[in-house]
Chains A and B, each alone.
Chain A
Amino acid sequence: MELQLQDLRKQYGEKCAVNNVSVNLAPGVYGLLGANGAGKTTLMRMICGVLKPTSGNIRLNGKTVEQLGEQYYTHLGYMPQDFGFYPDFTAREFMLYMAAVKGLDKRLAKKRTENLLHMVNLSDVADKKIKSYSGGMKQRLGIAQAELNSPSILILDEPTAGLDPKERVRFRNLISDFAKEKIVILSTHIVSDVSYIADTILMMKQGHFLLQEPMSTVTDSIRGKVWELLVDERTAAEYSRKFSVVNLHHENDMVRLRMIEETAPGEDAQMVEPGLEDLFLYYFGEEAGRQEER
């Protein structure tokens, strides 16, 4: 199984949302990271065939989407960001409806619906209308519908957005369960979510990939550049102006600064192990800050 994106581009007037993206994806979990507006959702929509690329093409096992036709969609499971439900349907009806749209026969549809509702812990409320569901329950139903056709490509756009920490952990575990033997593309700007489950990190900025690295080596590029330093508040303010401070933590009257710099920013600075969040902030710095403010 190989999904190839070749020079994929999406242009809206003057603005290029996705700029000649090329990547070959084999089974595994891909964490798609980027600030808001980086082009993640646009890229995912193109992969799912709901948005036509301006140029470039998508191939599955060497065949283009056009060549595969309906067949392409049998490999897809998609959970879009903020996607709506039919509030007057029950979860079971919604799943059966989606199974019909995905072309599953009646018996298989029923079986998959029961199994998946059980997996996402919605069996007890399967006959309740979706409008009575909490945000977390809706997200779980969202991933359950994406899994209905046992897709070999699972696309999840910000699946953990708006969930509380407990629900996020639960959701991450679900994704891990579903990910076996699949190409899973998981977009998020919650870095900790992907750091737990992704095999490969795809980092996007202004429509193109900045980085395509396995999770095990993704932080290598900033290894030896992440520093921590304990200073008083006045010095902390000075450091914040001069250096790239990625975290700031108050400890009594002192402040612990975490910075990314080529060389030690101060005599007492200690080199520390870089994390995915450091990498994210290293690349997105101000953008990520703006995102947090939003």
Chain B
Amino acid sequence: MLVKYEFLKIVRKKSTLIVMAVSLILTGFLFGLPIMQYQIYNQDGVIKGTKGIAYEKEQFADLSVPLSEEYVAETIREVQGLFENPDNIGTDGNEQFLVGDAYWNGIAPREKLLNLIADTYSSPNDRWGYNHLPDLDVKEGKPFYQAMKGKIQTLLDSPSRALSDEQKEYWGGMADKVDTPLQYGYYGGWEIIISSFELLMFALLAICIVTAPVFSGEYQAGTDAVILSAKYGKTRLTTAKIAASLLFGTAAFILHVVVACGLPLAAFGIDGWNLPLQIANTTVPYPYTFLQAVLINIGIIYLVLLAMIGLTLLLSAKMKSPYLVLIILVPILFIPMFLTPNGTTGIYNLLLFLMPYRSAMPEFDKYISYQFGGLVLDVITVRAVFYAILTVIMLTLARLGFKKHQVA
């Protein structure tokens, strides 16, 4: 009963409706932008928007295959064949490229796949495209999956990463769990979602804005004296306020996630949901499909949201005005946006990767791990544990804060 009324208190406010409407429109705009801006080229020129998406999916129709060693070797040989004809080759002064029909027919329809194969053979600091494929001697035997494993090992051994033996073992073990051969296919919608996750921070801010008055609004309105002098004012009511805030936060978050994921998936299709992350980048160690990766990261962002609601409620219980709550909260949410990591180890970087804004970014290919004695945990696990603990602490303190509030 109390939860119902507390929930009504939140949703009945005009400000709630305005903030949520603005936030949903903004989320829709930000996640819809890649659809509006999407463009792909063919021999006749540029194809934009949904027509471009349809064209790309058509190109991918023949590419939904397992990337077996034979398939990869054959693909490399085909590209090398195209490079054997000097008429097909153009140059920008430094590198050679295929031009004309050789490019439009032999490369363009599968350029993403060719770049993926080529880049798997590159050293960690290079970024290879299909034009490096002629450099590979397929006859000598250049097994694709051996190259993939080798590149991951080189990355782990890189002195700049400063990973401990335990951490290297952890990541190596995780990468070994990736099923091979990789199944290739179209994954456009999932790629957009994974690369745009941090844009959900605006939704988190909006939810915090709405929950900021949960306690402080009572102080500001002068209703605190009445409710705190009632039987359940310091006990069940506090729990109801917290529950209603979490309920509202969850409902609003689901709504935003539906918009954020729904738009790209409606436009690009759900194709690729069961394909491995490695078809976008072969050095990703997490053995997840695109759907699993998206769900896991949504789970992390949800935990960040819960902790931020907890922090908002704590500040709300301690401060006399919801505006003061936001003055503290906004920098916590958005200052990390302007801080750039300078590596993947060291206290600064490890803390930065746990900040709310950074936690919204999955960083699947960065090998960020935390070592506690002999125990190694990846950044996703640490974020989950960290924000779950933070939520419990914040909500407990918020509860105490309201209970001990003095009407003065």
| Interface residues, chain A, with chain B CB atoms under 8 Å away | 12, 45, 48-52, 70, 73-74, 76, 78-80, 82-86, 88-89, 93, 96-98, 100-103, 106, 145, 149
Which residue of B is nearest A42, CB measured?
B408
A101 to B406, CA, bound (A): 18
Residue in B closest to A82 when the chains form the complex, CB atoms: B222
Residue pair A100, B224 in contact (C-beta under 8 Å): no
Give B residues with C-beta under 8 Å from A: 1-2, 5, 8-9, 12-14, 220-233, 235, 237, 406-408
B224 CB contacts on chain A under 8 angstroms:
50
* A79 / chain B contacts, CB cutoff of 8 Å: 226
Contact between chains at A80 and B231 (CB < 8 Å): no
The residue in chain A whose Cβ has the minimal distance to the Cβ of B5 is A97
CB distance from B305 to the nearest CB of A (A): 25
- B233 → A minimal CB distance (Å): 6
CA A97 to CA B5, docked complex, whole Å: 6
Chain B hits for A86, CB < 8 A: 9, 221, 223
8 residue pairs bridging A and B, Cβ less than 8 Å apart: A50-B406, A70-B235, A76-B229, A83-B222, A83-B223, A100-B1, A103-B230, A103-B231
Smallest CB gap from A70: residue in B: B231
Would A83 and B225 count as touching, CB distance under 8 A? yes
Q: How far is the CA of A85 from the CA of B228 in the complex (A)?
A: 14
- Complex: A173 Cα to B354 Cα, angstroms: 62
- How far is B5's CA from A149's CA once the two chains are assembled, in angstroms? 18
Query: In the assembly, what is the distance between CA of A279 and CA of B381, in Å?
Result: 73
B230, A93: Cβ atoms closer than 8 Å: no
Complex CA distance for A103 and B222, rounded to whole angstroms: 21
Closest chain-A Cβ to B264's Cβ sits at a distance in Å of 36
Bound-complex Cα distance A223 to B227 (A): 44
> Given A12-B408, A50-B229, A83-B223, 12 other A-B contacts at CB below 8 A?
A50-B225, A50-B407, A73-B231, A78-B226, A80-B222, A80-B225, A84-B221, A88-B13, A93-B5, A97-B2, A98-B226, A103-B232
User: Which of B2, B14, B226, B229 has a CB less than 8 Å from the CB of A100?
Assistant: B2
User: Which residues of A sit under 8 angstroms from B237, Cβ to Cβ?
Assistant: 101
> How distant is the Cα of A8 from the Cα of B160 in the complex, in angstroms?
67
The 9 nearest A-B residue pairs measured at CB = A84-B221, A88-B12, A84-B222, A50-B407, A103-B231, A48-B229, A80-B225, A101-B230, A97-B5
Partner of B1, one of A12, A49, A78, A106: A106
Contacts of A145 in B (CB 8 A): 226
- The residues of A that contact B231 with a CB separation of less than 8 Å are 70, 73-74, 101-103, 149
Contact B5–A78 (Cβ < 8 Å): no
CA distance in complex: A82, B223 (Å):
9
What A residues does B223 contact at CB under 8 A?
A: 83-86
CA gap between A79 and B408 in the complex, in Å: 15
Does the CB pair A52–B229 fall under 8 Å? no
Q: Pick from B5, B13, B230, B407: contact of A102, CB below 8 A.
A: B230
- Give the shortest distance, in Å, between B303 (CB) and chain A (any CB): 31
> Are A101 and B13 in contact (CB-based, < 8 A)?
no
| Chain A: minimal CB distance from B226 (Å) | 6
Chain A CB within 10 Å — which of B224, B225, B408 has the most?
B225
Interface pair B5/A49, CB less than 8 Å apart: no
